[in-house]
A and B are shown apart, each in its own frame.
Chain A
Amino acid sequence: MSSVLYDAPGPRAKRRNVILTVVFVVLLALLSWWLWRALDSKNQLEWKLWKPFFTSEAWTTYLLPGLANTLKAMAFSIVIALPLGALFGIARLSDHRWVRIPAGAVVEFFRAIPVLLLMLFANEIIARSMDVTTEQRQLYAVVTGLVLYNASVLAEVVRAGILALPKGQTEAAQAIGLRKGQTMGSILLPQAVTVMLPAIVSQLVVIVKDTALGGVMIGFTELLNGRQTLAAFYANPIPSFIVVAIIYIVLNFLITSFASWLEQRLRKGKKSTGAVLGPETVQGTAATGAGGGTM
């Protein structure tokens, strides 16, 4: 194989690679041994701490309801943020300065603010002005924070998608006499959303990760919050962290795989203009999210 950094290895390079591999294996082994010892000396490997995860009670009482709330917040957020993002993305491309500039300011503003601040703020505003139960309030606050941030990220995504379309699309639409709104609504936007679909799907990973903020900061009973109650009941903090981390990893891995499957499918499809923008398009802004949209 060839790379910018090294050639196919000759005899000396091969020997060096073997030595490096051995050294690295030893380091990894030492690290794992140290981790194992540390876990063992704190009795975190005892079966009774892990056993709850093989009973249905731990799942039905703590983890699954938490996961359900995580997914619920994710679903609400994307369903609300997508049209809002499309609206602002289009507004930023408007021919009128009085539309373009305020839309740009709103998008840049909400991208500059940590999601956590938006959630805390929404939580307080809702508590003071709306008559809802605590549980509803927390969900509303989490979704509000996620929507404001992600709509502004998606606005950029949609804008990039529209700009990525060949100029001939607009010209052809004008040539057959479509008005600006018609061109956008029936020619450009549907294609842009298709083109950006993988990027939009991968934004779900950011949303899932950011729901955890609601769990620790405003008491929303999502997965991480469920872990806390579970660990308090079974006294197994380390195992519970590991199990919850695995759930997040699997969930996000499924989303990422779906996004790249979608991307491949779109690339193969003959109907599109050939432009497909993958998840990497939003990585800088989005994939980095937590409070930042915690990447």
Chain B
Amino acid sequence: MFDFLSNYNDPTFLGAFWMTVKLTVFSAIGSLIWGTLLAAMRVSPVPLMRGFGAVYVNIVRNIPLTVIIVFSSLGLADIFRVTMGAGGDVKLQAFRLAILGFVAYTAAFVCEALRSGINTVPVGQAEAARAIGLSFSQVLGLIVLPQAFRAVIGPLANVLIALTKNTTVAAAIGVAEAAYLMKGMIEKDAQTLLIGAIFAFGFVVLTLPTGLILGWLSKRLAVKR
């Protein structure tokens, strides 16, 4: 019944889901870094940086991810010859460009999550901390950030789950991940329902534990106010 799974070797079923996982992990790391930088800009005392952060987030959030991903392939690769150091390896290039697109997009959501975390800390706490003579770095490191991070685990988990599902968009530029394989399989094979069910199950397996674990963690670590 499942023998059709082994009829596809480029990519294989497990290979395709492994690609999905790789896209998710690399994009998550990249968007965490870029998103943190953006969040730092958005809460900085310099108005120009705040402005840049706000403009970036609001523009990127309103463009479909699909547009960004297709642009990174057609625009960046074909016109600007951005190859991401892939050296002529078209598959590697598509993979890296896709990650670039996911990072640019997801960072906007990471930024907003982090910023809202900082906003959950009451201003009075920082005032009290300054009143007892703590320096800026102490206020930040001891009072604000620990509470902010605990507050954003839940929202960041949602961003991560959305990112996992969003990596399917990479199929649009030929990255051989789960959606790409499913499109190929479903067109050639008659067992549409079974194929659909298997791929759906694959994503449930990827996203459900993430949500449960991080949801449990965020409840456990939440600062009760």
Contacts and interface: CB of A to CB of B under 8 A. Distances in A.
B12 interface: no
Given A24-B49, A294-B66, A116 B171 contact: yes
Interface in A1-52: 2-7, 9, 13, 17, 20-21, 24-25, 28, 38, 42, 44
B45 interface: yes
B182 A4 contact: no
Interface string A266-295: 000000000000001001110111111111
B187 interface: yes
A65 interface: no
Indicate the member of A112, A205, A209, A285 with the most B CB atoms within 10 Å.
A112
A264 to B, nearest CB: 19
Contacts of A265: none
Nearest to A123: B186
Given A42-B80, A116-B179, A28 B52 contact: yes
A114 B168 contact: yes
A244 B199 CA distance: 32
A113 interface: yes
Interface in A238-274: 238, 241, 244-245, 248-249, 252-253, 256
A216 B63 contact: no
Contacts of B158: 283-285, 288
A42 B182 contact: no
A120 interface: yes
Q: Which of A208, A217, A291 has the most CB of B within 10 A?
A: A291
A212 interface: yes
A291 B166 contact: yes
B136 interface: yes
Contacts of B186: 120-121, 124
B202 to A, nearest CB: 9
Contacts of B106: 295
B166 A113 contact: no
A34 to B, nearest CB: 11
A284 B67 contact: no
B123 A112 contact: no
A237 interface: yes
B199 A248 contact: no
Contacts of A216: 66, 70, 172
Contacts of B74: 237, 241
Given A114-B168, A121-B186, A248-B64, A241 B159 contact: no
A20 to B, nearest CB: 5
Contacts of B178: 117
Contact of B192 (A28, A124, A208, A293): A124
A224 interface: yes
Interface residues of B toward A: which range?
Answer: 35 or more
Contacts of A108: 208
B130 A7 contact: yes
Interface in B36-60: 43-49, 52, 58-59
A5 B144 contact: yes
B61 interface: yes
Contact of A114 (B47, B122, B179, B183): B179
Contacts of A234: none
Contacts of B167: 291
Contact of B121 (A4, A208, A224, A252): A4
Interface in B147-179: 154-155, 157-159, 161-169, 171-172, 178-179
Contacts of A291: 65, 165-169, 179
A172 interface: no
Given A120-B179, A288-B166, 10 more contacts: A4-B122, A24-B46, A117-B182, A124-B186, A212-B67, A217-B179, A237-B74, A248-B62, A293-B165, A295-B65
Interface of A: 2-7, 9, 13, 17, 20-21, 24-25, 28, 38, 42, 44, 108-109, 112-117, 120-121, 124-125, 128, 205, 208-213, 215-217, 224, 237-238, 241, 244-245, 248-249, 252-253, 256, 280, 283-285, 287-295
20 contacts: A4-B125, A6-B136, A9-B45, A42-B79, A109-B204, A113-B165, A121-B182, A216-B172, A217-B172, A217-B183, A224-B66, A224-B70, A241-B71, A241-B74, A284-B154, A287-B109, A290-B65, A290-B105, A291-B165, A295-B166
